[in-house]
Chain A
Amino acid sequence: MTPPRSLHRATPLSYHYHAEDLHHEERENLSHAHPVVGTSSFQAEALAIMAEMDILLFALAALVVGMISREPIIGDLAINFVAIVLEAMPFMMVGAVVGGIIEVCVTPEFVQRALAGRTTGTVFVAAALGIIFPVCECAIAPIVRRLIAKGVPRSAAIAFLLGAPIVNPLVAASTWLAYRGNWGMVSTRMICGYVIAVSVAFVFDAMFRHQSVVLHGSGGACEHSCHHCEQDGHHAVPSSFLAKILDALTHARDDFFTIGKFLIIGAFVAALARATIDVVAFRQLFASPLDSILAMMGLAVTLNLCSQTDAFIAAGFRGIFPDTAQMAFMVLGPMLDLKLMLAYFTMFRGRIIGSFSLLTVVAVLVAMMVLHYGIGGIPGAK
């Protein structure tokens, strides 16, 4: 089989993959997935593999040490880890199944029609479309690629990309459950998500109105929005009800096996933090609200959590950080994290991603500072 052109061009990439000793077949699959993407996304992918391996080895080593030495701290880690996963995993399953049903039953053309023909108004509609399409951020990037490819205004696509993973009923339900019926947290999260999505979309559009931001060919040739198309090509949309259910479950299963690892890794990191961090010391380290908000934003970017489960992780930081810092975690995470940046490399040019990321971070930071100092915290939060 002829190696893809992109591999010939990408010397640093080739080095990376040889260093990682990846299978040739995988390189082919990856290059098929991102036929026009530069080396950045491949390097990011290689880094992701390294990070996965490092965390896995660390987790296994800790487990072995814990089993042998019966160190209390590893016992604590185990309890925290299992508890967080047990609480969050069902939500990821629900999200995966709902996502699968949407993939099978709702076509991107429908979304395109809903967003077509308007300019400013479209942005406001797009940021709230998650109410109808409750998908997490893991599945949304490919949908946005399709929308951009089909001519939906990019400001609307950006608003959908940022808003839908937060402004959706599943995320609201998980936040409500994680915060024990605290409507202040739920509504603030939804409102912040919506306002920031709309704001960033308008500013982004104003900044890059006369520039090409989208990679040529992004959106691919698939006829539906399924994000697995990035990796395994097309499949026919089934016609019978049973076939649709099966296809939806297949999508859900693929989601579980591709996205589930992020939940597990995120839960492990959160459990480790819970087992090792001394609350007093941590509070002193991040004494000011700004520090704690920034710390939680950094954590949101690195943990790569699914928006349907991140509330449970954020809730674990109650009493450690103020509500606004937990909110920053829950608002920024679905908009920007490492796995999303990897996905953004399949849509946008590198410098655009930099500007877009900075814009999103600044918007979230400003919103949280306004909440903390302007309003005095999360309105209605107990």
Chain B
Amino acid sequence: MRNERQSVNWLGLVQAAVLVGWATTLGWLGRGSEDEALLGRFLRADYWWIVYTAIWFFAALLASLAVSQPRQLGLDRRRSVIHAIILSLPLLYLPLALSSELSIEAAEKRSLYTPCVAVKHSELPKPTAVGSPVSIQEVEDGSVYNPREIVKTSQPPEPTQTERKLKTARSNSTSAMTGKKAHDPTLLDLVSNPESFEGSNATLVGMVYRDKRLSASSFYCYRLLMVCCAADASPIGVIVKWPETRKLKNGTWVKVQGPVGLTVFEGENYPTISAARVEKTTPPNNRFIVPQ
């Protein structure tokens, strides 16, 4: 009987440690303004309320632990500890996550990803990222199709419904966005609807990625677009023509200024900036672009 009580008390301590760890960590991450809070490195700001809600729930569970003893749940001490460590794994990973940034390799691996929210932003389709092979594209409806399959099914290739939709939307885009040329285009604007901003001046901040398939005097300037959280963030960017590209290292944050143009890369139109000026800069507080 005494052993059982000791075991329950011990289990209570383990559970309390996990709950306190979670509640305090979440509170700490959410501290500060929207620009300062560490939570912004993982989640878009309009989702933070779910984390704040979780803090209250953790506090409530902690309060219940103070009143009622934990049940044994059929676990011995070792298994309870294993579960507690598993539940604490994200907390153990947190220091590493906070001291890291999504790497160039991560951006490369996600290069094909074109979130539909970026399209929703302007209600227009956009080209795939620079790293995309021509064989697979993502289009307006977010579905994935393989042109090789299209060729197989129709000889000579008739435009599919998706292609027609893409073409129509692109032609509509020029007139629909004409009135918006007045404002300085953002990276999201350029990627969503490059045709509308052709000829206008742009100032962008992004990271350097020197794609081997580009000429030696060009690089890809990108930022990560966060749809929900950092796990789904994907690169969007423009090709920057800059004679001194060789001096830039991959992953460097730069500020690019110059006129917007269009270029064909691997059979697709991409927005470009013929840079008048490229200078190194400090990373913005929020490294991600968060579409509304």
Check A283 against B144 for contact (C-beta < 8 Å): yes
Tell whether A370 is near chain B: CB-to-CB under 8 Å.
no
Interface residues as binary, A260-295 with B (CB distance below 8 Å gives 1, 0 otherwise): 110011011011001111111001000100000000
Check A253 against B144 for contact (C-beta < 8 Å): no
Check B113 against A318 for contact (C-beta < 8 Å): yes
Check B57 against A79 for contact (C-beta < 8 Å): no
Min distance, Cβ A229 to any Cβ of chain B, angstroms: 10
Asked, given contacts A75-B96, A180-B117, whether A265 binds B64 with beta carbons under 8 Å apart, the answer is no
Tell whether B73 is near chain A: CB-to-CB under 8 Å.
yes
Asked, given contacts A79-B102, A180-B227, whether A377 binds B74 with beta carbons under 8 Å apart, the answer is no
Min distance, Cβ A348 to any Cβ of chain B, angstroms: 21
A contact residues around B231 at 8 Å (CB): 79-80, 83-84, 270-271, 274, 316
Check A26 against B76 for contact (C-beta < 8 Å): yes
Tell whether A89 is near chain B: CB-to-CB under 8 Å.
yes
A contact residues around B19 at 8 Å (CB): 253
Asked, given contacts A87-B228, A231-B73, A246-B67, whether A280 binds B112 with beta carbons under 8 Å apart, the answer is yes
Query: Looking at the complex, which one of B75, B82, B113, B117 makes contact with A56 (CB distance below 8 Å)?
Result: B82
A82 to B40, CA, bound (A): 12
Min distance, Cβ A281 to any Cβ of chain B, angstroms: 9
Min distance, Cβ B5 to any Cβ of chain A, angstroms: 14
Residue of A nearest to B95 (CB): A67
Check B96 against A78 for contact (C-beta < 8 Å): yes
Check A94 against B57 for contact (C-beta < 8 Å): yes
Min distance, Cβ A26 to any Cβ of chain B, angstroms: 4
A81 to B106, CA, bound (A): 14
Check A382 against B112 for contact (C-beta < 8 Å): no
Query: Looking at the complex, which one of B39, B61, B103, B136 makes contact with A73 (CB distance below 8 Å)?
Result: B103
A274 to B68, CA, bound (A): 40
A22-57 with Cβ < 8 A to chain B: 22-23, 25-26, 29-30, 32-33, 49, 52-53, 55-56
B32-89 with Cβ < 8 A to chain A: 39, 41-43, 47, 50-51, 53-54, 57-58, 60-61, 63-65, 67-68, 70-79, 82-83, 85-87, 89
Check B113 against A320 for contact (C-beta < 8 Å): yes
Check A322 against B86 for contact (C-beta < 8 Å): no
B contact residues around A121 at 8 Å (CB): none
A243-263 with Cβ < 8 A to chain B: 246-247, 249-250, 252-254, 256-258, 260-261
Interface size in chain B (residues, C-beta < 8 A): 82
Check A261 against B83 for contact (C-beta < 8 Å): yes
A55 to B22, CA, bound (A): 21
Check A382 against B103 for contact (C-beta < 8 Å): no
A80 to B234, CA, bound (A): 12
Tell whether A97 is near chain B: CB-to-CB under 8 Å.
yes
Asked, given contacts A29-B75, A250-B68, whether A278 binds B109 with beta carbons under 8 Å apart, the answer is yes
Min distance, Cβ B89 to any Cβ of chain A, angstroms: 6
Asked, given contacts A49-B79, A78-B100, A79-B97, whether A382 binds B142 with beta carbons under 8 Å apart, the answer is yes
Residue of A nearest to B72 (CB): A232
- Secondary structure call for the A interface: helix
Scoring A96, A316, A319 by chain B CB atoms within 10 A of each residue's CB, the highest score goes to A319
Check A90 against B93 for contact (C-beta < 8 Å): no
Check A268 against B75 for contact (C-beta < 8 Å): no
Tell whether A312 is near chain B: CB-to-CB under 8 Å.
yes
A106 to B231, CA, bound (A): 38
Min distance, Cβ B281 to any Cβ of chain A, angstroms: 22
Tell whether A109 is near chain B: CB-to-CB under 8 Å.
no
Check B113 against A87 for contact (C-beta < 8 Å): no
Interface residues as binary, A321-363 with B (CB distance below 8 Å gives 1, 0 otherwise): 1110000000000000000000000000000000000000000
Scoring A96, A258, A267, A318 by chain B CB atoms within 10 A of each residue's CB, the highest score goes to A318
B contact residues around A85 at 8 Å (CB): 90
A265 to B83, CA, bound (A): 11
Check A91 against B138 for contact (C-beta < 8 Å): no
Residue of B nearest to A263 (CB): B87
Tell whether B143 is near chain A: CB-to-CB under 8 Å.
yes
Residue of B nearest to A255 (CB): B61
Tell whether A315 is near chain B: CB-to-CB under 8 Å.
yes
Query: Looking at the complex, which one of B68, B87, B111, B138 makes contact with A280 (CB distance below 8 Å)?
Result: B111
Check A312 against B42 for contact (C-beta < 8 Å): no
Tell whether A374 is near chain B: CB-to-CB under 8 Å.
no
A318 to B227, CA, bound (A): 10
Check A75 against B97 for contact (C-beta < 8 Å): yes
- Given A250-B64, A257-B15, A315-B227, 14 other A-B residues pairs in contact with their CB atoms under 8 A: A29-B74, A30-B74, A33-B74, A56-B82, A60-B85, A78-B94, A180-B227, A231-B72, A246-B67, A249-B64, A278-B108, A315-B228, A318-B232, A382-B116
A to B CB contacts below 8 Å, 16 in the list: A29-B74, A63-B96, A72-B106, A73-B105, A75-B103, A76-B105, A79-B102, A80-B231, A86-B43, A87-B47, A94-B57, A231-B71, A261-B83, A264-B89, A277-B109, A280-B136
Interface residues of B (CB under 8 A from A): 15, 18-19, 22, 26, 29, 39, 41-43, 47, 50-51, 53-54, 57-58, 60-61, 63-65, 67-68, 70-79, 82-83, 85-87, 89-90, 92-97, 99-106, 108-117, 119-120, 133, 136, 138, 141-144, 146, 227-232, 234
The 10 closest A-B pairs by CB, nearest first: A75-B100, A72-B103, A29-B74, A319-B113, A249-B64, A90-B54, A23-B76, A78-B97, A231-B74, A83-B229
